[in-house]
Amino acid sequence: MKDKTAVIILAAGKGTRMASDKAKVLHPIEGKEMIRFVVDEAVRVAGHNVVVVVGTQAEKVRAVVSESHPGVRFARQDEQLGTGHAVSCAIPELPDNAEHVLILCGDVPFIRASTLAELMEAHIRSENVITVLGAEMDNPYGYGRLVTDEDNRVRAIVEEADATEAQRKIRLINSGIYCVDRHALKSFLDRVRPENVQKEMYLTDIVGIAAGEGGRIGMVVCTDNHEIMGINTPADLRQACAVIASNENP
């Protein structure tokens, strides 16, 4: 599967809530930059068919990644126009032989290669156009909810601000990690429009586009919520360090 799989890692953001001059993905967790955690796992799944989307402090991010993985490719997102736009920037860098694309975030350092492989295997086995990595949360506040049908297929991702009262009670959340058919991905992205308050291209919109066409949208539920933990604030960073420390000292 490595030969037919590519990974896009979104790592262009500044991370203003980190209250730091350093690009978010360069913040260290127990001495190791968080972007390196993600790239290490991506390479285990896809070899060097990995594209890192850079923007803020692009050359520093490139240098950190290339030091340990010189075969990784890079795409530049000069304007922060949303996650959909970031993925669009990476499309030209995908290898020609890639049939499936895993999309990851550079600020989710604990995702495991085994979970990504499970996601990809489910995607291929079910012949999905998109497969979403979800998770069950006791308190899903702030997360996009996964709206499913009677066959447990994803029909939409609804953000907290746009959710109805009934949808806010859904405990199944979107991790922001996807496996997408490579050729369908470009078609979906071409139709994403920045018709939202932020005037950004949201990657989540591809789910609604695929559902509207009757595409098969599957889901894998992550069994360890630490894996999808995003680092957005100094408090998150401290928590991540605590996770590392607890794993080293059982």
Instruction: Exactly one of 17, 125, 168, 238 is catalytic; name it.
Output: 17
Q: How deeply is 106 buried, as exposed, middle or buried, from its count of CB atoms within 10 A (0-12, 13-18, 19+)? A: buried
- What is the Cα 223 distance to its own chain's centre? 17
Q: Measured between alpha carbons, how far is 72 from 74 in angstroms, rounded to an integer?
A: 7
Q: State the virtual CA torsion across 57, 58, 59, 61 in degrees, nearest 10.
A: 90
Cα dihedral 106, 109, 114, 119 sign: negative
Catalytic-residue membership of 76: no
Backbone φ and ψ of 235, nearest 5°: -65, -40
* Cα gap 168→141, rounded to integer Å: 8
Element spanning 186, H or E: helix 182-190
**Residues annotated as part of the active site:** 17
